[in-house]
Amino acid sequence: MSRAERSRFAILPRLRLSPSAGELVRRFLDEALPAAGACALDAGCGRVSGFVPFRPRIGELVGVDIHAPARPLPWLDRFVIADLCRDTEAFPAGAFDVALSSFTVEHFADPPAALRTIGGWLRPGGSLVLSTVNRGHPFVNAYLSLPRAIVRPLQRQVKAMAADVHPLVGACNTPALLRAALEEAGYIDIELVTVDHLTRAWGRRFPAYLAGLLGDLAAHPFPGRRSTIVARARRPA
């Protein structure tokens, strides 16, 4: 993160635009991971991983995505290419204690199938932690609804790098739809929290930062319209 981005984000807690999605994900992971020797799966891993701060507690950290990463991810022990919506046998059943899905649900063509696949790879009682965008926010809904010819160049403006630009589907991106998909996939103890995250997600360029800040401030009084959903759930024991 650049110095300019750090200075822009420093004001957000004072505006009560906290916690961030990343902070909440780290809290959920901290509560889900065993004290030592965990087997963890980063499902749809990107440039950074919420697992990195907990690497001493993880015996094996595995990444999976539909394509190879744009550059090596040194915190992973191994990486597997697989389509989460279809490749159910990419890992043995019950292989992982915890799985993380960071901003991938909006890209799934069949979210319940992908969530069911991840659940099958979790050990009984294992946890899934995920973050995704919320169509309840009007900016997010407009962003997901744009034609691909428009949204692809727009993504390049707000994303940190070109490798972060992926096709958007948004088939399961409200709290109610996400809860229903998790229930359909067989998860229990589902908890969903909405947070203000547009400013952080769009903060690389100043005009996008201002648009995100405006969107976060306008939506903050209405939890169902905040831009980002962070959720956790368990596979039945």
Confidence of residue 166 (pLDDT cuts 50, 70, 90): low
Averaged pLDDT, 165-173: 77
The pLDDT assigned to 154 comes to: 61
Residues 6 or more apart whose Cβ sits within 8 Å of residue 185: 112, 115, 116, 119
209 vs 232: CA distance, rounded Å: 28
Contact 64, 83 (CB under 8 A): no
Q: Are strands 38-43 and 96-102 parallel, antiparallel or unpaired?
A: parallel
The pLDDT assigned to 130 comes to: 98
36 vs 179: CA distance, rounded Å: 30
- pTM, whole model, 2 decimals? 0.91
Q: Is the model's pLDDT at 8 over the cut of 90?
A: no
118 vs 113: CA distance, rounded Å: 9
Averaged pLDDT, 160-184: 80
Q: Is the model's pLDDT at 162 over the cut of 50?
A: no
Contact 112, 169 (CB under 8 A): no
Our CA angle for 220, 162, 77, nearest 5°, is 90
Whole-number average pLDDT of the chain: 91
Domains within the chain, CATH numbers bracketed:
3-234 (3.40.50.150)
Q: Is the model's pLDDT at 148 over the cut of 80?
A: no
198 vs 211: CA distance, rounded Å: 8
pLDDT digits (tens, 9 = 90+) for 86-98: 999 999 999 999 9
Q: Is the model's pLDDT at 170 over the cut of 80?
A: yes
28 vs 81: CA distance, rounded Å: 26
193 vs 226: CA distance, rounded Å: 9
pLDDT digits (tens, 9 = 90+) for 24-62: 999 999 999 999 999 999 998 877 899 999 999 999 999
The pLDDT assigned to 71 comes to: 86
The pLDDT assigned to 1 comes to: 66
